[in-house]
Amino acid sequence: MTIASARASLARAGTALIEDRRRLTANELAVLAALPDEAVPSLAALAHEVRLAWCGPGVEVEGILSAKTGGCPEDCHFCSQSARFDTPVQATAFLDTDEVLQAARETAALGATEFCIVLAIRGPDERTMARLVELVPLVHDDTGLNVAVSAGMLGPGQARRLAEAGVHRYNHNLETARSFFDAIVTTHTWDERRTTCTDVVEAGLELCCGVLLGMGESHDQRLELIGQLADLGPVEVPVNFLDPRPGTPLAIRRPVRPLDAIRWIALFRLGLPAVILRYAGGREVTLGQLQAMGMTSGINALIVGNYLTTLGRAPEADLAMLVDLHMPIAALTGVV
């Protein structure tokens, strides 16, 4: 593709998304995915413009806590918390209420509006449900934070119980396209994940449904995933990049190239113009010096501070970046 035709494709996409306020077709998005590297900054600029037009300038800041680490029976090949792989992560029990509250207070002190309690489990048993139902209102009342939960696949009625307990948003990632999922996970199916996602939406919870890029999926499969997310209609899509973990089957994969990461952040924004598109795990390793560029390529939310099993860059660096970019912190909700 020549630069001239790339410019024409970008202009058509801009007209569709900003002037006509319509979503791109799968074919239109595929054309943009094929743009040459030289056109990626222009693609990113369009994605930023679309983000401002559809979502406004606010950025949602969130802290996450691994409240129960490791020992997971599932075999997600990217995950160091699976009990099926010999990884350095030592399994630990569900944290005490005081430990969870302390982490939430740290998050609130950073100016964040969202706090996610994450458990490495297949799905919550009754004891875990009881802990969550008790914890969530305590955290919210103590800190004023919106409380999200990520506790694996939900059984009948569990999404509704979490909604009634005050859970604001439930995280359950599709991770990758349906056509690639079997290469990454064998202990449950993509359709099982999707069922939990639809249960969450039907229960009235906001759905947070993330992706993990760089596991060996093709560009077509990334486009397929964008289409599957568009069908699902999540409020938030966290974008993770593979940070290859020792002991996992994906340990020897190379991280996504920085410019490719920018390209795909932009494409996720252009394919999902109304979602809260969040910087999540792996961004430090993948993007390095280009992290501010991601914020002007369609991202409008970020996880601040540390992740579940790895550390993030200093929260002060992210907050200073937002000040420099004139991006105010805001609690966001879907504009679907």
Partner 1 sequence: MTGAGPAHCTGCGRVGADCPRAGRCTGPYDPPRYCNRCGHRLAVHITPTTWKAHCRTCAAPSPSHT
Neighbouring C-beta atoms of residue 81, cutoff 10 Å: 24
- Least Å distance between CB 3 and partner 1? 37
114 near partner 1, judged by CB under 8 A: no
Instruction: Please provide the DSSP assignment of 273-308 as one string.
Output: TTSEEEE-TTHHHHHGGGHHHHHTTT--EEE-S--S
Q: In the set 102, 179, 195, 333, which binds partner 1 (CB under 8 A)?
A: 102
138 near partner 1, judged by CB under 8 A: no
- Least Å distance between CB 111 and partner 1? 12
18 near partner 1, judged by CB under 8 A: no
Q: Residues 6 or more apart from 206 whose CB is under 8 A from it?
A: 168, 169, 170, 235, 236, 333, 334
CA 80, CA 77: separation in Å to the nearest integer? 8
Q: Which residue lies nearer to partner 1 by CB, 112 or 129?
A: 112
63 near partner 1, judged by CB under 8 A: yes
42 near partner 1, judged by CB under 8 A: no
Do residues 44 and 290 touch, judged by C-beta distance below 8 A? no
Q: In the set 209, 307, 318, 322, which binds partner 1 (CB under 8 A)?
A: 307
- Least Å distance between CB 114 and partner 1? 11
CA 175, CA 267: separation in Å to the nearest integer? 16
152 near partner 1, judged by CB under 8 A: no
103 near partner 1, judged by CB under 8 A: yes
Taking the chain, what is the end-to-end CA distance rounded to the nearest angstrom? 33
SS3 211: strand
Q: In the set 18, 83, 110, 251, which binds partner 1 (CB under 8 A)?
A: 110
- Least Å distance between CB 315 and partner 1? 6
Please report how the helices 190-202 and 219-232 are oriented relative to each other, as an axis angle in degrees rounded to 10: 30
Stretch that binds partner 1, among 175-183, 184-192, 289-297, 312-320 (CB under 8 A): 312-320
SS3 83: coil
139 near partner 1, judged by CB under 8 A: no
Structure tokens belonging to residue 27: 């074919």
Structure tokens belonging to residue 310: 């790895």
- Least Å distance between CB 308 and partner 1? 7
82 near partner 1, judged by CB under 8 A: no
111 near partner 1, judged by CB under 8 A: no
CA 292, CA 261: separation in Å to the nearest integer? 13
Q: In the set 253, 306, 321, 333, which binds partner 1 (CB under 8 A)?
A: 306
**Interface positions, 220-279, toward partner 1 (CB under 8 A):** 243, 246
114-119 and 146-150 strand pairing: parallel
| Residue 272: exposure state from Cβ atoms within 10 A (0-12, 13-18, ≥19) | buried
Do residues 21 and 336 touch, judged by C-beta distance below 8 A? no
Stretch that binds partner 1, among 199-207, 223-231, 264-272, 299-307 (CB under 8 A): 299-307
Task: List residues near partner 1 by CB under 8 A.
Answer: 63-66, 69, 88-90, 92, 95, 99, 102-103, 106-107, 110, 112, 243, 246, 284-285, 304-313, 315
